[in-house]
Amino acid sequence: MKKNGLRALVVLVLFQLMMLPQAAIGQTPDRAEIYTKIRKEGLDNSKIMRVMHYLTDVYGPRLTGSENHVNAAKWAAAEMKNWGFDKAELEAWEFGHPGWQNGYNTGVMLSPQVDTLTYEVLAWTPSTKGTVTGDVVSLVTPTFPSAENPLIKQGPTQAELTAYFDSLKSEVKGKMVLVGLPAFIDQSTEPRPKHLSMDQLQCRLDPTKKPGDCGPSGFNFPQGQRVTPRPNALTGREVDEQVDKFLLDNGALVRINESQLDRGAVRAFNNRTFDVTKVIPTVVMRNEDFGRIYRILQDKTPVKLEFNLQSRVIPSGVTSYNLIGEIAGSDKKDEVIMLGGHLDSWHSATGATDNAIGCATMMEAARILKAIGVKPRRTIRVACWSGEEQGLLGSQAYVKAHFGSAENPKPEFEKFGGYFNIDSGTGRVRAMSIFGPEEAAEVLREALAPFTDLGFAGVTATKSRNLGGTDSTSFNAAGLPGIGGSQDPIEYFGVTWHTNLDTYERIIEPDVKASAIIFAAAVYTLAMRDDLLPRFPKDQMPPLPAPRTR
């Protein structure tokens, strides 16, 4: 009797142990059910276009260090709190330069015809002293054909550049100076496709294929033929810096650069020194206006221009801010899953595709999970970075402060579960690349397989710790799992990237909704699984790349 009773007790205990996992599963909604809820919330109740309107129409542009950027970040923080996030705040980091904000600008050709000019002011350059008027002078620094290919021009020596400046010194005082030659824009080339086929995507995801095997990429920086360096020739940057000093020392009124872009597009960056006292007022003019003025001058006909360029230096901009929003985790709340994009933009437009849409998409992905009642095990953290356009500065500062690196880890390093990033315009996310072993890619590949109907093709793994391109590489460089989204190109690199055409109107609503749904599912997966993503063991961590040389 006692023996039979003990046997019955053992059977009962074993039965209860067998049932515990089933009970746990029964209490957790099936992943397919969660995915259905994510899709419905993302399609029916999306907040992306509302966020886009505020970040672009109301607060754009959002140059790092500007008041616009800070105000946009404050608005987005308040919005996340309204959605029920547990925390949303601005986290300071030191930019090191005063901010700069564009203001009232006019530019007109007065003769030989009266016409309004299309241009953008170069950031961190000074204002004119009210309205200034002057004749135009063309400045084209000397170049020399290389021996291997006469079409490739090389820079002057210091003596040659000094001699050229001496010949022009008496002509630039009180003048508008047209710097360089107009670019030739080939009108016979076909525009690149806006969408990637599934075959092309599968080719890119195939580790046995080379990039050239799968058709053109979204953007190719010109590589150029390697030629023998000209002895003692100055670099293009050295020449440009000396042009700035020459114009400042000799009293020129306005420097005019050329956009080198098609159909009225203008891309204006910044004075490299960030010091408005080291340059004169400078604009980047559209190819069509620059070329017209240059041709008129070549015909020996005088050209007179008028500019009024007004901007402000923002002393408080030496401190910038990353926007950090958070949904607290439960049993694994000290572990963190991050997602984000950069909030800062250039100043020529309102910064829609680069990269307000990245922030809006990732804010929306986290909002979806909050709205459908997901109780994440790990903390979900949304980041909208600043300083990306000046060199990934905000995300680098954050990673250094919170996580350290594989070589010098902080306590949070081992608690980090992955950072999802998007930063290539309005095209929907079609694939992802993760820094980590193949097993890490397989986790996301399996989790996102149900989204092939939205065009999602797969996930690859990378061992590269190269820093550059976008904020996910700040995590990769530290040895952490950065996860970059690959997107349909639409017209990003060829049209909107850093140009005056980057506005709200460029956003494709169905595509960005699809991206938010996919990222919400990916974040849900990493926030809920038992283990963090697989990582490279310490003894297998890929090395940091060698420092770049000139």
Q: What is the pLDDT of residues 406-441, one digit of tens each?
A: 999 999 999 999 999 999 999 999 999 999 999 999
SS3 label, residue 32: helix
What band does 11 get if pLDDT is binned at 50, 70 and 90?
A: very low
Q: What is the pLDDT of residues 461-484, one digit of tens each?
A: 999 999 999 999 999 999 999 999
- CA dist., res. 168 & res. 156, Å (int): 16
Note whether 72 and 360 are within 8 A (CB): no
- Is residue 89 pLDDT above 50, yes or no? yes
Checking if the pLDDT of 86 tops 80, the result is yes
Q: Give the residue carrying structure tokens 């890929």.
A: 542
Per-residue tokens: 205: 């995801």
Q: What is the pLDDT of residue 13?
A: 38
Q: What is the strand order of the sheet 482-487 is part of? A: 87-94, 319-327, 378-385, 332-342, 416-421, 482-487, 429-435, 458-462
Range in 197-201, 332-336, 377-381 with the lowest mean pLDDT: 197-201
pLDDT of residue 21: 37
Of residues 244, 258, 238, 241, the one with CA closest to residue 181: 258
Q: Judge whether residue 269 has pLDDT over 90.
A: yes
Average pLDDT, the chain: 93
Dihedral over Cα of 402, 406, 408, 413: its sign: positive
Q: Check whether 489 has a pLDDT greater than 90.
A: yes
Least confident of 5-19, 59-73, 461-475: 5-19
| Omega within 30 of 0 (cis) for the link into 61 | yes
Q: What percent of the chain has pLDDT over 90?
A: 86
Higher pLDDT, 482 or 16: 482
pLDDT, one tens digit per residue, over 24-37 is 333 346 899 999 99
Least-confidence region, from 86-90, 306-310, 542-546: 542-546
Q: Answer yes or no: is pLDDT of 371 > 90.
A: yes
Angle between helices 236-249 and 158-168 (to 10 degrees): 30
Q: Is the peptide bond before 98 cis (omega within 30 degrees of 0)?
A: no
CB 154: neighbour CB atoms within 10 A? 17
Write out the DSSP string of 77-101. HHHHHHTT-SEEEEEEEE--S-EEE
Whether residue 58 has pLDDT greater than 70? yes
CA distance 247 to 380: 52
